[in-house]
Amino acid sequence: MSFYAIEVLVYGTVYIKASTLQKAQKILDRLSSNTIDARHRAWFSDVSFEHVPRVSFASSLTLNATFPGSQLVEVTERDVELAQRSFVLGSRDVVVPFAERAEEFNKVPVFTTDVDLTATAFIKAESRQEARIITSKFQQQFHVELQMGYWLWFSKLGFDDDEMAALPVVLSSAIKVIGASEGCGLEQRWPD
């Protein structure tokens, strides 16, 4: 088996707690063009709206397509491992999540919008041709559910047959937030 890498476009939903739409927009603007460490579990929330942190992403992502102009390249197993722990080793370019713990913060409105992200997808395949077939299915089949086996999507362990069901694709821990998806703006989601 060989490993291949390619830059991909990913869609997600972001939740932002803020007292006003304008404050939520400022938070989104600051987050845009930054990179998050996806291995930090606090970025992905599956709790009720009143308990989400100031900024979090829905616990599912969709791999939409390869990044325009990106090429499928063969990489070593070590390259995959290093991409999975790059931020763990101390990058200063990463934005880390934070949570407000004050009781009154639970009453702050939650705004949401769809966002475009980029990441490196790693594919384990018998050949470059097989890897190309997998990338051609991104838009139709690759919905990343982060509730069960969350860490496997951001670890080489996701390829292992003995870890639940082996994944054909894992992502780098570095996910860049491009910004709100085209035609999408922040809307208040909670309270209704």
What is the DSSP-derived secondary structure letter of residue 38?
T
At residue 69, the pLDDT reads: 92
Which SS3 state, helix, strand or coil, does residue 135 take? helix
CA 143 vs CA 13, 15, 103, 163: distances in Å: 13, 19, 34, 18
Output the tens digit of pLDDT for each of the chain's 192 residues.
899 999 999 999 999 999 999 999 999 999 999 988 888 877 887 788 888 888 999 888 888 888 999 999 999 999 998 888 755 444 444 555 655 555 667 789 999 999 999 999 999 999 999 999 999 888 766 777 776 667 788 888 888 876 556 788 999 988 999 999 999 999 999 997
Domain of residue 93: give its range.
Answer: 2-190
Of the candidates 15, 45, 9, the residue with the CA atom closest to the CA atom of residue 118: 9
User: If you count them, how many residues does the chain have?
Assistant: 192
pLDDT of residue 70: 93
- Residues 27 and 70: their CA atoms lie apart, in Å, by 30
Q: Classify residue 173 as left (phi > 0), alpha (psi -120 to 50) or beta.
A: alpha
pTM, to two decimals = 0.85
Tell me what pLDDT residue 90 has.
47
Q: Are 28 and 67 within 8 A, CB to CB?
A: no
Domains: count for the chain:
1
